[in-house]
Each structure stands twice: as structure tokens, then as C-alpha cells.
A and B are shown apart, each in its own frame.
Chain A
Amino acid sequence: MKEFLENLKNKTLNPEAVITPIHVEFDEEDIPVKRGEVLRYAGYPAAVLRTKGDGKNDESYIEVPTDEELASRLESVVGLCKGELTYRISYCFFQLNRDADGFPILPFEQHSKDLKKNLENCSAVIIVAATIGAGIDRLIRRYERTQVATGLLLQGIGAERVESLVDLFNDEVNSNAAEFGLKAHPRYSPGYGDLPISVQPHLLKLLDAEKRLGITLNASYMMSPSKSVTAIIGIEA
């Protein structure tokens, strides 16, 4: 990635270069569970959280709900996920050109005004797909019908996990970009604004996501594993 960004900065990119995806696997330990986020996804507002441990700098710091029963259920759900998830990402990057109307030219057709706006002034984009694997769906299936509260918390933790994974990658993009005096725009996903989710097949194909990440789409463009994310990150020189 650094090489690409450096070339982008020095304007020495080869526009003919074949776009090939890169795959990275992250370690669970590097992505601590944000319990407040899990609960927020599960419909429990952050205001009623309290903290355990001495404060944010404490290693053992976690946010827990004040309701003891819920707190213990949440911890058991965190435990259920241990070792069941994988943290994988596939990404690629390329130089960005624009058509006569100023729309960014991506390797697939789209005429999203919102995306155009998001990618304003960008000279390159990074396309990324991330997934925490099918394990979370297995767990959700296991619990959602017979222990619905656990199922709900699993949904919450799945959402938190995959978002944290993309965040981790995005942080890396941001800091790498900053190193070369470039600026990464906020990531943009299909389904945001007027960018339809029907572009998903193109994004996934570009990233070889079926083979590399095991992500497939159903007839309504929903991804399996369900806790997967695709996004476009613009880079401004």
C-alpha cells in the first residue's frame, strides 16, 4: 500500500497496471471488543453503561451495562465468539479518472452523485471488503430462535466486530496516507446515499472476494457471511 501511495504522491503510477487484490488476515487480539458498541447495536443506549477497572487507560477497562443479568449475558456472548471468528480483508487500489460529466470512472458502471461528491478531488481509490467469517452466522443460527436475547447480542457483536475490523484497516490507510501528505476521505459503502447495492457483485469480483474471503451474494445482493462490509475509500493528493 505504501508503495502505491508513494507513487501516487510522486505521480509515478503506472496507469496500465493490472488491478489485483491483496489479502490480509488480522489477529483477534488486535481488535478488542467494544462492549458499548455491541450494546448500542443491540438497542441498548450507551448512557446506561458503567465502567469496570480504573479508567480508559487501564488494560482491564471495559464498559458494562448496569444491569447485572445483562452484563453477565453479554460476557457469555463475548465468550461464545472466542475463536469462532476470522478477521479477513481484501483490498485493491487504482488511479481515479473522471468521465466528461466529472463522474469517477470505476471498474464498473455507476452514476452515483453522492459517491461523486465523496470522491471529489480524489486521484485514487482503495476498494475494500472485510468479513469476520461464517462462524458468527453459525452462532446466530444456533441461538436466535431458542435464546433470542443471546441472538440479538450476537447480532450486535457481529456488527461491532466487522466495523472494528474495517476501522482498523481504515486507520492504517489514514496513517499511511498522512505519511505521504495525502488525505483519505471517509469510506463509502454500497447502499449509502444513491449508490445502489447492485454494485456489490462488481466490487466483490474485483476483490476476488468469493474465493479469498468466502463472500457470496444472494438474489437481493445481501452478503454471506452476513457480517461483511465493502467500502470505497477515496485518496486526495
Chain B
Amino acid sequence: MNIREYMKDNFIFLDGGMGTLLQEAGLKPGELPERWNVTHPEEIIRIQKGYYDAGTNVLLANTFGANCLKFDDEELEQLINAAFDNARKAQRESIGKQEKFIALDIGSLGRLLKPYGDFEFEEAVAAYAKTVKYGVKAGADLVFIETMNDSYDTKAALLAVKENCDLPVFVSNAYGSDGKLMTGANPASMVAMLEGMHADAIGANCSLGPAQLIGVMEEYLEYASIPVLIKPNAGLPRDEGGKTVFDVYPEEFSDVIKTLLEKGVRIVGGCCGTTPDYIKAVVEKAAGLKPVPVTDKNRSLISSYTHAVEFGISPILIGERINPTGKKRFQQALRENDIDYILNEGLKQADAGVQVLDVNVGLPEINEPEMLETVAKELQAVTDLPLQLDTSDPVAMERGLRCYNGKAMVNSVNGKDEVMEAVFPLVAKYGGFVVALTLDEGGIPETAEARVKIAEKIIKKAAEYGIAKKDLIFDPLAMTISADTTAALATIQAVHDIRHGLGVNTSLGVSNVSFGLPSRNIITSTFFALTMEEGLSAAIMNPYAMEMMNVYHAFKALHNLDANCTEYITYAQSLPTLAPATGTPTAGSGSANTGGNGAQGSGTGSTGAGETGVSPLQNAIIRGMKEQAGKITRELLKDTKPLDIVQQEVIPALDIVGKNFEEKKVYLPQLLMAAEASKEAFEEIKKEMAKSADGAGPKRCSFVIATVHGDIHDIGKNIVKLILENYGFDVHDLGKDVPEQVVVDKVVELHAPLVGLSALMTTTVPAMEETIRLLREQAPWAKVTVGGAVMTQEYSDRIGADKYCRDAMETVRYAEEVEKSLNK
């Protein structure tokens, strides 16, 4: 019988521990258990027969660590084949009468993926794919991905399975005692991602005993519409006379499992420390039970690598600011590949309170697929908010969905067949929650009725791809009332009809409604309130608009979506008081005011940070007061030329800080806080300058900076970068763990006169040396400065660098020196 058929009406019993039993049989610490498939087949068969005799339905072949990072291809294939031969022999020899299956067991590759580790997602997919292909050839009935402690790694493995076979696939993660995966994912987020990618069963194994996993299981059962599995350890390991023993015995183990089966878990077994006795006890306890039917929980979820966001309960705010449309400064950032600017826009919206970030990086002159992938990855490295990938280019959409860690929101499809046929297959493969616009070949219908019709058509078409209603969210399109005063009424009606008539989620880009009118936020926020009242599930909006946030928080409080009004109260307390602020420095138009204006606590202690005879902006920068620096700059810009502020205010302030640092009056944290403050000032200045045609103004010479290949530490490099930028250098940051040739290519492309390389570990110095060697060959004009914790003058001389810089200020001084010599 096919296992997909069998599991519809039956519990599935898995096997128990393998590693712990092999150790008892003599496997040495550090020895690879998979080799025993060939060297000790009798031991493997003995253990596995024991499990089948105890009542196991699904036996995991001994392939947990069988991957191409540990074995060469030939041995890998041999070990996997032997694993299946052994399992089949155990199956034949068993006295058990139950249905029996053999799973290809896949454990983690043991390499952490980027951004936390150094392994590429696609490399992982390719490595897993090899194991899958050999397993399929060896005759696996299903694939069992287990003990995964990272969501991204889990996605790589599942994707490899899906791309290389049609076998059923069970996916099991290892949760810590905090109920999360090592890299932060909670159960709901794993359910969202794995169900979206069409796993056949999902759940948890290893790490904890059954009792400690009850909470995790309850969360799975609450959200999952597919069978849930558990394969826990025999409790927690404990030291007894120098030997590890587990503290839960078969009786207690099977009692907890029985409770879980009654709650709705369908697939059970054991992990470390469990033996055939545990499985036997479980099978016996389950004998009188009827499986709880697996039902559609109808939950609309998206996820990041830490948590899920659910639609349909409380309105969800989707930040709209990562979008170049109509934003000169953002367009400039995209053209200059200024990823930090984009990240900052994401982080600011997160701080403003949105739950999802819309990501649109489409600009005619840039490579959108590449940029969307880069920005999605980079955003996921700094924020745990789920993303809404916003593009009309299916190629870009696939790149984004593939690299996304979690289940993304997809923006968008519409009623046009051509669009649905391009996007739905991607959603079917990678998972996704799809924004569907109610327009089609005929444009946007005027009436609510016609928009509902399009929605119905989209629901039908999605179903053909296996995409359920719960994974669609309809945008019935807000049109401006300045062109047609009936427009908002039609949209409000459509929200109501789609939400309550069709029973699906709705979303709107609310701000369109006020286009062309003065004081737009008044109209937009009121419209937002009206549509939420009709059941709007989400809004793509500007979280910096206070009117919008007011309405949102008030709505939740009024709709009993905010217990004890806690969120509202916190929000209200965060609002600026309307009384005129006192003591804030105003535009001093460059005149040298007295120091300490508006700065609290000046004169306390001997920090060396306080300076006399400086202007308010300079004081804010020197003391590292970021918000103050931004605010004063905005004021100054009203009547001072941007470049004058740079020349007369910012640069002198930086010089003071730099000098203080060199004289050890202030230290690194303070230098950086000052740099952050001046960056804030620069950002205001750039914003102003982007408005004029000449863009950002002149820059100093270019400086390529990177942490060398193999090294993943980049705080030092980031520090140098920030300070260099503050001094106006055109810094091109290639990131960390950068291959030698990539550095060289960039230097050649820019004909950059300066290169900075950083290394923290002695083991990565050879990579630095190699980079310098290649630079000398291909970019002989470039001056190379090196730094990092491990670097010394001696090292620097040995590997042929032009200059060893101890810190960021020394790098600035050197860069200035080199630049000067160029201009001669």
C-alpha cells in the first residue's frame, strides 16, 4: 500500500533511536554511523528488525548523515544502497504483521547557512539533492527530513526533495526548551513554510523528552492542516557514573505519546535514548485509540524565520516605504546599490509598528531579479518581519521566493490569465500568500459586484494549482475620490462583499484614495477606518503617518482586539506632546553658538566629549546624539545650503571627534556614536540634495572594502566603512567572506585607488595574502590597507600590504594621504 493512502486512516508508528544503540554496539565517538551499513550490516539489521518487530510502520534507513560533504559520491551511493539493503532485510526477517515502509533519512549537512554561517543556500540544495537522488534509486518509499534546527536549512532540504522526486516527505524539526529552533523559528512559522511547500507531514523530534514537547505539539495542531508527527528523546540525558542515561522510561514515554495521539498527533516514534521497547509500549497504548481526523484549520499565515503573522483576526499593517515610486532618494539608493539605505527604511518601519514589509525594488535601469534577491536576503539578515515581495516580473518573483526564509507574501496576481499562469506555479512550489487584485483584461471594474466576480474567477483558477482560498488575499483597489467621488464607496462595498460573501481576506493600498487632494492623511486614515469596519484584513500603508497609526490603534482598542487597551496606552504614551518643545536648538545658520545648548548633563565627568565653542549641531555630533543631529540638520536646511552644512558643521565636528579619539580622550564606542549622529545629519542632507537635479554632489575617491574569504567577522570592517563614509569617501562595501577575485573585479571595475581588507583570524590571513597577490597582478595601481584583530605590522609587511592601519581613524588619514598624492 502507498503510504499516502495508509496514513489517511491510520496512525503511523516510526522507529526509535539509532545512534544511541549503535554506540552501545561499539560505535566509537567520532566514527561515522553510515559506514556501519557496510562494515557492520548485522548490527544495523538487528536493531532495525527489533523496531519492525515492535510495530514500526516507517523505518528510517541509516542515512541520517549520508551526504556529499562527508562522503565522496561513490561511497555515498554505496552507503545509501547498503542502508536500504539492510532495512529491506530487517523488513523481511521481522515477525511484525503491520504495514512496513522504508524512509530515506535526511539530517542536516552540519553547515550553517548564510547570513549566520558561510554556506550558500543553493549549495545546500544541491548537496541534499544528491542524497535524494541516490535514495530514490535505492527504493525509498518516502523521505524523512529530521532534527533540523534551522528553518532555512529545512527549506533547502525540502526544496531538494521536491525538485528531485514525487515521494511523500515528512519534515521534523528540533526545538529547544524555549520552544524555538536554534535559529529562532517557532512552530507556527514552520507550519506556515512547510505546509506552503506541500510537506506531507510535519512535526518535531529529538532535543527534548515527550512531555517538554507538548507545547510545541499543541501549536502544530492548532495551525497545521496536514498530519503532525513527534519523535522525541527518552527524556533528558543525565550522567550516571560517567555514562549518559535518559530519564524517561517506556511506560511514562508511551503515556505522554498516548495523550498526544488523543490530541490529534498522527505519527509517532522515538529519537535518542529510545529503543524497540519504547515503540512497543507506544503501539500497545495506541491500540484502542481512533486517529483524530486531520482537518483544514483554515488559517491564513505568512512567516519569517522566527514567527508567523496571521491574517483575518486583527488588521495587519504592511509598510509601503521600500518602494522607489515617486521617491528620488530611494531611486538614488537603488542606482548606487546603497543597500544600507534600503535596510534602514525597513528597520524604521519595523520600529514604527508594521508587521510586514512590502519590498519593491523595480526601477527600469536596474536588474530587478538580482536586486530583489539581494534586498530580500539582506532584509532577512537584519529584521524578522515577514516580507511582501512586490514585483510584476515573474523572474524576479521566483528569485525572491526561492531565497526567502519562510513563507512570503506575493504581490501580486490579478484576473488576467497570463499573470495567474505565471505566478501561481511559483506559489504552488515555494508557498506564499498571494495578493490578488480585482482587475482583469478589461481593466478595473467600476462596481463592487464586478470586482467580486473577478475575485471568484481568481479563487477558481488558484484551486487548479492547489492554492487554497486561505492563501489568497484580495485587493479590491482603492481609487482616488478626486477623480470620481463614488470611487471609495465601490471599494468599501467590495471589501465587505469579498470578506463576508466569499469569506476571504482583503487588503488595500489605502493611500491611493486621497491622491490629488490636500492634507491627504485626513482622507486616507478615515477611509482606512471605514474599510477596517467592513472587514479589511490588511493595509499597505505609510507607518510614519501619525493619522494612520492613530486610527489603527483606536480601531483595535474599540474592536476588542487589544486586551486591556495595553497596546493603545503604550502607543498613546509614545506620542509627542503637542506643547511647544523648549530648549531645542533652532537653526543657528552656522553661527558658532555656545556648546551644551539643549544637551543634558553637560559638564558631568571628565569624558573629554564635551567641547566648548561649538555649534548645536557640532555638539550633537560630538556627543553622539543621533536624533538631535537629524533634527538640527533639518532646521538648518531651511536656510543653509546643504554643502555649507557639511563644510562648516559636520566636517569640523568629525575632526574634533577624530582628534579626541587619536588622543585617547574618547574611545571606540563614542567615536561610533558620533559617526552615527553625523550619518543622521548626512542622511538629511542627502535627502535635500536628491531633490535637486545634481543628485548627491561630489564624492571623494572610491574605496573598496571587504572582509576576506573565509572570515565572517565584519564589525571592524563596518566601523572603518562608517568612518570613511563620514569623511566623504565613496565606499564600496563587498561584505564579509568575500572571494579573492570578487574584490579584484570590483577594484578593476571602479579603477579604485584604495582597497581595505579585514581579517580577524590567523586562518584567514592566507586569503588576504592571495587577494593582495591578485590585486598586484590585475590592479597594480591600487593601494591596499589591511586591518583586523589578527593584523600586525609584521604580518602586513609579510603579505605585501601597502599599509597597516590600527583603527578607523588611521585608515581615514591614510586614505586622505593617498587621495592627495593622486591629485598632484
Contact = CB atoms under 8 A, between A and B. Distances in A.
Contact of B668 (A18, A42, A69, A226): A42
Interface in B66-119: 108, 110-112, 115-119
B23 interface: yes
A210 interface: yes
B23 A18 contact: yes
Nearest to A14: B242
A144 B714 CA distance: 9
A17 B243 contact: yes
B625 to A, nearest CB: 6
A186 to B, nearest CB: 22
Contacts of A178: none
Interface stretch (B49-57, B671-679, B744-752): B671-679
Interface in B707-743: 710-715, 718-719, 722
Interface in A164-216: 197, 202, 205-206, 210-211, 214, 216
A147 interface: yes
Interface in A122-146: 133-135, 137-138, 140-146
A69 B623 contact: yes
> Counting chain B CB atoms within 10 Å of each CB, which of A148, A205, A221 scores highest?
A148
Nearest to B766: A220
B242 A220 contact: no
Interface residues of A, number: 68
B609 to A, nearest CB: 6
Contacts of A144: 714-715, 718
Contact of B607 (A14, A48, A155, A211): A48
> Counting chain B CB atoms within 10 Å of each CB, which of A22, A135, A152, A206 scores highest?
A152
B347 to A, nearest CB: 6
Interface string A213-237: 0101011111011100000000000
Contacts of A134: 116, 182-184
A19 B29 contact: yes
Contacts of B343: 145-146
Interface stretch (B378-386, B472-480, B559-567): B378-386
B515 interface: no
Nearest to B601: A68
Interface stretch (B172-180, B422-430, B498-506, B547-555): B172-180
B383 A25 contact: no
Contacts of B764: 220
A43 B718 contact: no
A141 B381 contact: yes
B353 interface: no
A205 B30 contact: yes
Contacts of A220: 118, 710-711, 761, 763-764
Contact of B669 (A14, A149, A205, A225): A149
Nearest to A201: B30
A66 interface: yes
A133 B702 CA distance: 38
Given A216-B110, A218-B710, A43 B669 contact: yes
A18 B243 contact: yes
A53 interface: no
B237 A224 contact: no
B42 interface: no
A103 interface: no
A44 interface: yes
A45 B670 CA distance: 12
B449 interface: no
Interface in A42-70: 42-45, 48, 50, 65-70
A211 B182 CA distance: 10
A14 B242 CA distance: 9
A219 B676 CA distance: 33
Nearest to B176: A86
A142 B673 contact: no
Interface of B is mostly: loop
B30 A70 contact: no
B217 interface: no
Given A67-B607, A141-B115, A17 B242 contact: yes
A152 B668 contact: yes
A45 B605 contact: no
> Counting chain A CB atoms within 10 Å of each CB, which of B116, B176, B340 scores highest?
B116
B718 A4 contact: no
Nearest to B245: A20
Contacts of A140: 715
A225 B676 CA distance: 27
Interface in B165-221: 174, 176-178, 182-184, 206-207
Contact of A152 (B242, B607, B715, B763): B715
A218 B669 contact: no
Contacts of A74: 669
A7 B183 CA distance: 39
B174 A4 contact: no
A141 B182 CA distance: 16
A123 to B, nearest CB: 15
A226 B761 CA distance: 13
B669 A107 contact: no
Contacts of A48: 607, 667
A4 B244 CA distance: 13
Interface string B16-29: 00000001000001
Given A18-B243, A148-B719, A219-B710, A211 B667 contact: no
Interface string B569-606: 00000000000000000000000000000001100111
Interface string B806-818: 0000000000000
Given A43-B669, A135-B184, A211-B206, A107 B119 contact: no
B606 A216 contact: no
Nearest to B177: A25
A70 B715 contact: no
Contacts of B441: none
Nearest to B115: A141
A218 B118 contact: yes
A125 to B, nearest CB: 14
Contacts of B714: 144
Nearest to A93: B242
A221 B672 contact: no
A1 interface: yes
Nearest to A206: B29
B771 interface: no
A117 interface: no
Contacts of A42: 668-669
30 contacts: A7-B242, A20-B243, A20-B244, A43-B669, A44-B667, A44-B668, A68-B600, A68-B604, A93-B242, A134-B182, A134-B183, A135-B184, A138-B116, A138-B184, A141-B381, A142-B382, A146-B340, A148-B672, A148-B675, A148-B676, A149-B669, A205-B29, A206-B30, A210-B108, A218-B119, A219-B710, A222-B711, A224-B112, A224-B712, A226-B712
Given A3-B242, A69-B623, 6 more contacts: A14-B242, A23-B236, A141-B115, A146-B344, A197-B761, A226-B713
Interface of B: 23, 29-30, 108, 110-112, 115-119, 147, 149, 174, 176-178, 182-184, 206-207, 236-239, 241-244, 340, 343-344, 347, 381-384, 600-601, 604-607, 609, 623-625, 666-670, 672-673, 675-676, 710-715, 718-719, 722, 761, 763-764
By Cβ-Cβ distance, the 8 closest A-B pairs, closest first, are A66-B605, A43-B668, A214-B182, A149-B672, A20-B244, A218-B118, A220-B710, A17-B242
